[in-house]
Amino acid sequence: MLYPAAMDGKQHNETDPFTHAIVRPPGATFSDGITSADLGRPDLALARVQHQGYVGALERCGLQVTVLDPDDRYPDATFVEDTAVMTREWAVVTRPGALPRRGETAAVGDELARRFPALFAMEPPGTLDGGDVMAAGARYFIGLSGRTNADGAAQLTRFLGDRGCSAVTIALKSLLHLKTGVSWLGGDTLLVAAELADCEAFAGFRKIVVDPAEAYAANCIRVNDHVILPGGHSHTKSALEAAGYPVIPVDVSEFRKMDGGVSCLSLRF
């Protein structure tokens, strides 16, 4: 479904800088969200401080950050990445795979409608979380997970194909989302967890493989000239710096308790 008007076929240029991000701080019900981490309940006050630090990191990378109001109706609403797939020219509003999260897309869609000439909205029975979609220029990789089904992946693939982009699906085994285990660092380079290091879909990429002891660090974000990385992962930080990437560590321990990573906390475009 497209609204309010058809999109053009422009593709983004990977060398263009990101300029904007959308975030949403955790609400009062944050600790009631969906998690399998078994790391204890998050400290809401600390999570809010960490979120402010994360926003500061985005701003340090040159982004203008729009902060949406917290929404206590949806405990996982702070993980805004799952509600949309973004480029610099167009946006897709998703249909999250977890039923309690589907209402999260309304506020994000309203915000995006003010910025984009039209939005694509996924339709049932398709489900897709933004965390399952990794873009590498005009190439897209879509994880088939417990949150993203084949119909959702097919809808996005058709949309991308109409705009000159390619997409390939990857069946996940234990990862919550595709970007739980892989991050595009620009060009032909990926930061990748051991589970995906030999994935056929990533043949031809140069891979920085994360030490299994630091698997959580496989989820990071390249934002213009920097890589924002979860703090406390010294081996991964050193590997990135040795490869020429300036690193900004951020503390996201309370979001990790709720199955969230660095990429989950923002929509960047």
Domain ranges within the chain, ordered by starting residue: 2-174+246-268
Cα separation of 58 and 31, whole Å? 24
**217-263 pLDDT, tens digit each:** 999 999 999 999 999 999 999 999 999 999 999 999 999 999 999 99
65-86 pLDDT, tens digit per residue, is 999 999 999 999 999 999 999 9
Residue 89: predicted pLDDT: 82
- Tell me which residue of 37, 29, 14, 131 sits closest to 73, measured CA to CA: 29
CA dist 188 and 190 (Å) reads: 7
pLDDT tens column, 179-199: 999 999 999 999 999 999 999
Q: Residue with structure tokens 């934002």?
A: 223
Of 51, 177, 226, 233, the active-site residue reads 177
Q: Which residues contact 14 (CB under 8 A, 6 or more apart)?
A: 137, 186, 187
pLDDT in tens, 85-96: 997 788 999 999
Residue 264 annotated to the active site? yes
* 177 flagged as catalytic: yes
The architecture of the domain spanning 2-174+246-268 is: 5-stranded Propeller (3.75)
The residue from 61, 165, 220, 264 that is catalytic is: 264
Q: Is the pLDDT of residue 63 over 70?
A: yes
DSSP track, 89-135: S-EEE-B-SSGGGGGGHHHHHHHHHTTSS-EEE--TT--B-GGGEEE
